[in-house]
Structure 1
Amino acid sequence: MVGRVTALVALAMLAQFPVTAQSVRSIVVPGGDMATLAPPTVPADYIRREAMIPMRDGVKLYTVMMIPRGAANAPIVLTRTPYDATARAMRSQSRKLINASQRSEEQFVRAGYIRVWQDVRGKYKSEGEYVMMRPPVGPLNDSGVDNATDAYDTIAWLADKAKLPESNGRVGMVGSSYEGHTVAMALLRPHPALKVAAAESPMIDQWRDDWFHNGAFHNIYLDYFAMQTGAKGALPRPPHHGYDDYDNFLRAGSTHDWAVKHGLDQMPVYKRLEEHPAYDELWRGQALDRLLAANPSDVPTIWEAGLWDQEEIHGAVLAWEALKAAGKVGNNHLVLGPWRHSQVNREGRRTGAFAWNGDTVRQYWDEMVMPLFRERLEDGPKANLPSAILYNTAEDRWERFARWPLACERDCPAPLTPLNLAGEGGLSFAPGARGEDSYVSDPAKPVPFMPRPYDMDEFAEPWTTWRLSDQRHVDKRPDVMTYETEPLTAPVRVSGVPIAELFARTTGTDGDFVVKLIDVLPPENANDPPMGGYQLPISIEILRGRYRDDPSRPSAIPANVVQRYRFRMPVVNHVFRPGHRIMVQIHSSLFPLYDRNPQTFVPNIFRAKKQDYRAATITLERGGSEGSRVWLPVLPPGEPPRAGKR
């Protein structure tokens, strides 16, 4: 009651002094509320320096240098990015470099390195014209400049003590995804000051591993094209006008129809894709694994990727293989972790539903990257990295291989082992009786690539971890053929590149083939019941049937005639344990991650019409010499599984 009386008294007093326009004006301070803030009294422990570094054609590229205060003879680590050097260099305005830098920079900060970020040509604050994945100088690029020349000119500037007196003139490069591509490009014609590199999830072959996968178009990149090429900075993701992208893409029709609906058909990068659906000279001419093999460098390089990388799962392996074949064995190291795309820039304690033995990303930086960078940039002790370091995704540990793979098609201690489709949905390492299994693939009801509903947001789960999602969401569909072993009585250790080999006929004249290699966990798990029976994909790949004989020359599939479909799958390093089952799933769509095949041969699937999409019956052959199988890199009994472990 007292409080109420007090409030009433206060109101009465205010009533005696009504607010007028004059009294309001009397409290306005001339000049408004803007004030000049005094600089912080606590100095930062770093110096942030900017430069517009000139390239050989006169174009200047915006560069940010983060220099530890008091640095002297410090190594330089460079990243060239299309994702905004200003934002990449600093995540906050902290006065401490360890807190101002990105999470992945912690090791470089603690080592006292100078960290350099640069906007690639035409993006953000850099001058020039942006061309996504600008081809190397040559038949596809007569401009005289590319990401190799820009890297060379940038490193020449950075290594000049007059320009950066705090440095020791030695440069390392690091970057993931597109930034990994710029690392790989720098290795084509490396500047002498480039001493070491780490290309992480690099974009290497745009037809086999990026925009396409063996001819099937990666719809997820339509958003990326708009975001990256629609402005000098970055545009927001275009609206999809609905949460469930399965329905959104199905309603749109063909990929061309989707592009027109969203205005994406105006983008030069999309036009190039639509005009070049086959593996023609446009794609072969800029495949970096080929170019690196033709111009092998002596720069020690780590090629890294995630074993469940949803964007660039093959690139690092292809580059490493090409350089190994070119004789560059001692200075090229393959690292495959239990990660999704670019997880090396984040935490590595878990991926999707699976937890690992500690922070595997921290282990990567501490035990692989930094030892090699210290050796090359500081004259530190020998890193002694082996040829390959792969995470064992079943036994939850790193494995180091002096020679890898140990089982492959040729030049390996062991050959690949066929895992054959068998009757009644079985799998067998022994050839079985002849037989066949059929399913109907209907483009009007494509197989979803992950459980519906889903939003194919490139930067968010669940899409980012779809490659290790539980495959029970499609198991038992009538258009998904499922084959599995009995529960294993002994471990089956696989390490290498599986090869899918299908013998099949179709009533259509085109079609896609999806093969999944799956570890089926035991049905009961008392400690984590939902994981009982989990169908964990170890390797998934797709092939567009028109490219079965020649990726550069599509051809119609002869209806009702058995054809061979043979294609490479992503690397595995896994143990199928006793009590588990090995499963293989086969079907004809992964929608809408990849565009639908109309199953009628048309000149260009991008522009398929509604009437072209027709159901087809696919029949898989099994048994005998033309029986469908997956060739597995099984290590022989008693074979040492690794050359040493962490």
Structure 2
Amino acid sequence: MSLEFTRITAAPVPSTARQSMVRMRDGVRLATDVYLPEGDGPVPAVLVRLPYDKNSRFVFMDTTAERVTARGYALVVQDVRGKFRSEGATSAWNGEVNDGYDSIEWIVNQEWSDGVVGMFGDSYYGFTQWSAVASQHPALRAIVPRVTSTGWAPHVMNPGDPSIRRVPWMEGAFYLASHWVDRDTYEYQPDYSTRPLRDAFEPVFEAIGARSVAFDLTVPHAIPVDAYGTVHPYDARPVPVLHCVGWYDNIGSAQMYDYTQLAKRPGWAAVQYLSADSSDHNGISLEGAPLPADHVHSEEVLDLRMDSYIGPALDFYDVFLKGIKSPDSLPKVSWHLGHVGWRTSEVWPPKGARTVSLFLSDAQAATGAAPGGTLSKQPDASSVDWRYDPEALIPSALPMTWVQLQYHPDERATADRDDVLLFTAPTRTEPLDLAGPVELKLDVQSTAPTFDVLAKLLDVAPDGSAHMIVRGDAQGTGHGELRLDLGHTGYRVRPGHRLALVIASSDFPLYVPNSGTDENPWLATLRKPSTQTLRAGSLSITVLD
């Protein structure tokens, strides 16, 4: 049976842009818009290479161009190969290194170019920046990757620390199956009751008459893809980089992994800068959450985004593309403390930050009503069982993790379930400022050969409402210590509020349910229940005195 879908095609090229078909080394031509500033003389260029239709409202490049050209830069925006107006096969993550190099080479040979290029963009068009870094074109002088990761590739469904085995990310698979089929993109709703689960996407492939190569490389078995070729960005010539991170971004922990890894590399540490906001993948801020609309449907929301979206990048380019300001004019770290405001520091975590361990205590109470068990400064020897029932999966609190703060859901319904563990800290009498990484370590045993653990650190308000601060997941095998990277944050727990930790074994449909067996969860036709036993656990938070 075919599935109903909506096809999204390319929007018109705006009158302010001049489109060219730029030839790559293999003859494929990529659709490329140029927005030029007023005045004479060659200027530096900011290049954006994206797969989401360069002229769509979703990426609002015409609005961005107004800010970029007003500061004296050319903005060059390109559909990557195989997407929308560009030629070539549609296959995510392939060819971006060479295409990035060739696009920069085309720019520096234009009469309006002064030979200096920077790059900008979110998510996949952050990945194309890292690909250009790997190409090592000498004209590339600065990049501003936003809400992205060097490891954001089809075989890594949850990029970041490779030592953590992650829970399969259904949302990532849907992205591949809806956006990377052909030149267009598609909106539809898969039937996730289909067994095996992988077949939920087959009706739309049949209806469209094409398949997603990236999806087939990832589901049900991830096939490693060499996205960078001979040089990984970490090993390339260092380029000044402004990491723009969202504390609530679903790829935020992966981007912070890049930041911390590059800090260990000679050459890279000196040219790394961090701008971390209390925002999600789509740029919605904690200060305005929840929002009734997004930037696609609301001009007001888009206007609110623009200063924080492009402003830090333009200041960065003034230093590293134009050279009209000193690097000393830029803070090495600019970070937002949730519910307070912006701060700057020379390092991250900021000086004065320290690690505090909170132990998962009174475990026998953790499956009961709130407040459940205790987040305590002293460990105890208690343990507790919690169940995984594939016939009663824990429903996801929001439709997409990309828009965490647009919905900013109250998580108390999940916390009150008897198939999750809840641990709560004492109510704060003074502010507690979180500023750095959050990590969870568990000693867990399961009746199943594999089991999933999904955890959220919550802020519980005086009225009992609970909102997420950070989240993480990991898949365990057998028994023993399990480590979850919950990412980094800057957040104030206000007086009258308290921290709470929720631990669950499902989050559906955002994550693929565990099979409860050795069978791949994408291919399982039957899922088995299991029981997990928490024998000990500790939550590591970074606090600022």
Q: When the two structures are superposed, what TM-score results if normalisation uses the length of structure 2? A: 0.84
Higher strand share: 2
For 1:417, the equivalent position in structure 2 comes to 356
For residues 91-490 of structure 1, the aligned pairs below 5 Å read 102-134=62-94, 146-160=95-109, 164-206=110-152, 211-212=157-158, 214-232=165-183, 234-240=184-190, 248-249=191-192, 251-263=193-205, 266-274=211-219, 276-277=221-222, 282=224, 285-286=226-227, 291-295=232-236, 297-310=237-250, 312-327=251-266, 328-343=268-283, 350-352=288-290, 359=304, 362-363=307-308, 365-366=310-311, 368-383=312-327, 384-395=329-340, 397-406=341-350, 416-423=355-362, 424=365, 425-450=372-397, 456=399, 464-465=404-405, 468-490=408-430
Give the % identical residues: 24
**Structure 1 position 361, deviation (Å):** 5.3
Contact persistence 2:289–2:406 (CA under 8 A)? no
Deviations 1:554-603 (A, max 9, x none): xxx2xxxx52111211111112222211101111011110000022222x
For 2:296, the equivalent position in structure 1 comes to none
For 1:73, the equivalent position in structure 2 comes to 42
Contact persistence 1:388–1:403 (CA under 8 A)? yes
Q: When the two structures are superposed, what TM-score results if normalisation uses the length of structure 1? A: 0.72
Q: Is there any run of 5+ residues in structure 2 with no aligned partner, and where?
A: 1-13, 160-164, 293-300, 366-371
For 1:630, the equivalent position in structure 2 comes to 539
2-side partners of 1:537 and 1:90: how far apart? 27
CA distance 1:208–1:507, change in 2 (3 Å) = farther
1-side partners of 2:353 and 2:51: how far apart? 43
1:614 alignment partner AA: K
**Structure 1 position 171, deviation (Å):** 1.3
For residues 7-22 of structure 1, the aligned pairs below 5 Å read none
2-side partners of 1:347 and 1:390: how far apart? 13
Q: Is there any run of 5+ residues in structure 1 with no aligned partner, and where?
A: 1-44, 92-100, 135-145, 241-247, 408-412, 524-532, 547-556, 622-626, 638-646
1-side partners of 2:152 and 2:436: how far apart? 22
Moved more, 421-430 or 483-492: 421-430
For 1:37, the equivalent position in structure 2 comes to none
2-side partners of 1:484 and 1:208: how far apart? 37
Contact persistence 1:349–1:360 (CA under 8 A)? no
1:417 alignment partner AA: V
For 2:531, the equivalent position in structure 1 comes to 617
Deviations 1:473-499 (A, max 9, x none): 212111111110121233322211111
For residues 32-71 of structure 1, the aligned pairs below 5 Å read 48-71=17-40
Contact persistence 1:207–1:215 (CA under 8 A)? no
Contact persistence 1:519–1:537 (CA under 8 A)? yes
> In structure 1, the residue corresponding to 2:321 is in which secondary structure?
helix
Contact persistence 2:438–2:486 (CA under 8 A)? yes
For 1:35, the equivalent position in structure 2 comes to none
Instruction: Give the alignment partner of residue 507 of structure 1, picking from 447, 457, 467.
Output: 447
Q: CA RMSD in A?
A: 3.2
CA distance 1:235–1:286, change in 2 (3 Å) = closer
Q: Does 1:580 align with 2:497?
A: yes
Contact persistence 1:206–1:287 (CA under 8 A)? no
For 2:298, the equivalent position in structure 1 comes to none
Contact persistence 1:317–1:334 (CA under 8 A)? no
2-side partners of 1:90 and 1:598: how far apart? 38
Deviations 1:210-241 (A, max 9, x none): 62474322222344323333222x1331344x
CA distance 1:578–1:235, change in 2 (3 Å) = closer
For 1:541, the equivalent position in structure 2 comes to 472
**Structure 1 position 432, deviation (Å):** 3.1
CA distance 1:514–1:347, change in 2 (3 Å) = closer
2-side partners of 1:209 and 1:373: how far apart? 33
1:273 alignment partner AA: T
| Matched positions, count | 505
CA distance 1:348–1:68, change in 2 (3 Å) = farther
User: Considering only CA atoms, is the larger Rg found in Structure 1 or Structure 2?
Assistant: 1
